[in-house]
């Protein structure tokens, strides 16, 4: 029976830990080519343009010995030119796996329910599981199994949702600070709290960034205005103005904290240049780890390495 990865909740805590260990193992091989995905065809079905997601998946598939095909937004026009159901049924005749980068999470679900190809959520409006797993990989690479606090400050969006679930399943205490009306979805927070109780970690959501950053080991931010939200630009910049990661705010964290951002970043908005370009920043290690965790995901779902 095929396994999909639509959200981190699709994985058990032990599987999350397995993926982290497998990613570290694959990373240590420094790009050595393998045959894990020999004779496997993977399609990148994107509604949104991408830098990290596209390149990291294409290189990951190549290094694992598979064939990767990029399907640009204008080529499929998912949900408009053709329904997600019909696309899933058609592409499943050609592909072993589809990495879907969509606006609506429903499109990812429809692809998973209507085709035989394995579906990996490369980003939807609700979740970004590959990013969340790469984030935990980066944290574990830095701190090992030490008990730490990770604080996310900004919009309670798809990145925030997946970070909540990934940290909760990994035993990492996670805090979130957002402006009012930008909190993460209540059902996602509740689910994260269930996972946290199982792993011995905690989940806290607040509108006070200073309190959430206090003694934090990790400070994480994302853009205030994501793709598809451009018409909210002016309002969001006003609403988030007190949630900028800057030198004053990070003084409340531990002196050796690490700064994380899923990129692209807007210096001078959600984070100042001195923070993201400073010695505490690991944003490019984090970006690299997208490729390594995705290699682990592909190997786990499609290869012989379980």
The C-alpha angle with vertex 205 and arms to 202 and 210, in degrees rounded to 5, equals 105
- Per DSSP (E only), the strands in the chain are 41-46, 67-71, 97-101, 118-123, 149-153, 173-177, 203-206, 218-221, 258-261
> What percentage of residues in the chain have a pLDDT greater than 90?
91
Domain 8-128+290-302 has CATH 3.30.1490.20: no
Rounded to an integer, what distance in angstroms lies between the CA atom of residue 254 and that of residue 252?
A: 7
Tokens coding 280: 């505490």
DSSP string, 159-175: HHHHHHHHHHHHT-EEE
pTM, rounded to two decimals: 0.96
Helix-strand-coil split of the chain, %, nearest 5: 45, 15, 35
Question: pLDDT grade, residue 306 (50/70/90)?
Answer: very low
**Which helix (DSSP H) or strand (DSSP E) does residue 197 occupy?**
helix 186-199
Q: Where are the domains of the chain?
A: 8-128+290-302, 131-286
| Rg of the chain on CA atoms, in Å | 19
Q: What is the mean pLDDT of the chain?
A: 96
Equal fold, 8-128+290-302 vs 131-286? yes
Q: Which residues are catalytic?
A: 101, 128, 131, 222, 262, 290
For residue range 157-194, list pLDDT tens digits in order. Answer: 999 999 999 999 999 999 999 999 999 999 999 999 99
Query: Mind listing the pLDDT tens digit for each residue in 43-93?
Result: 999 998 899 999 999 999 999 999 999 999 888 888 788 999 999 999 999
Which listed CATH number (3.40.50.140, 3.40.50.1370, 3.20.20.70, 3.40.190.10) goes with 131-286?
Answer: 3.40.50.1370
Across the range 24-38, mean pLDDT stands at 95
């Amino acid at each position: 029976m095929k396994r999909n990865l639509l959200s981190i909740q699709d994985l058990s805590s032990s599987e999350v830990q397995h993926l982290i260990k497998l990613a570290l193992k694959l990373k240590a091989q420094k790009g050595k080519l393998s045959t894990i995905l020999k004779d496997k065809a993977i399609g990148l079905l994107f509604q949104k343009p991408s830098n990290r997601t596209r390149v990291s998946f294409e290189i990951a598939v190549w290094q694992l010995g598979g064939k990767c095909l990029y399907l640009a937004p204008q080529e499929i026009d998912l949900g408009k030119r053709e329904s997600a159901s019909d696309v899933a049924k058609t592409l499943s005749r050609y592909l072993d796996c589809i990495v879907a980068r969509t606006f609506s999470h429903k499109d990812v679900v429809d692809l998973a329910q209507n085709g035989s190809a394995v579906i990996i959520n490369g980003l939807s409006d609700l979740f970004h599981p590959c990013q969340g797993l790469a984030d935990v990989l980066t944290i574990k690479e830095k701190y090992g199994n030490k008990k730490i606090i990770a604080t996310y400050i900004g919009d309670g969006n798809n990145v925030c949702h997946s970070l909540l679930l990934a940290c909760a399943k990994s035993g990492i205490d996670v805090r979130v600070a957002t402006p009012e009306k930008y909190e993460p979805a209540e059902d996602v927070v509740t689910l994260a709290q269930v996972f946290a109780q199982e792993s011995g970690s905690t989940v806290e959501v607040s509108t006070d960034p200073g309190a959430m950053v206090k003694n934090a080991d990790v400070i994480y931010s994302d853009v205030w205005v994501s793709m598809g939200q451009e018409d909210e630009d002016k309002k969001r910049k006003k609403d988030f103005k007190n949630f900028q990661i800057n030198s004053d705010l990070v003084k409340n964290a531990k002196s050796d904290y690490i700064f994380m951002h899923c990129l692209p970043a807007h210096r001078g908005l959600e984070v100042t240049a001195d923070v993201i370009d400073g010695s505490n920043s690991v944003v490019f290690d984090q970006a690299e780890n997208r490729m390594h965790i995705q290699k682990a995901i592909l190997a786990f779902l499609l290869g012989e390495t379980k």
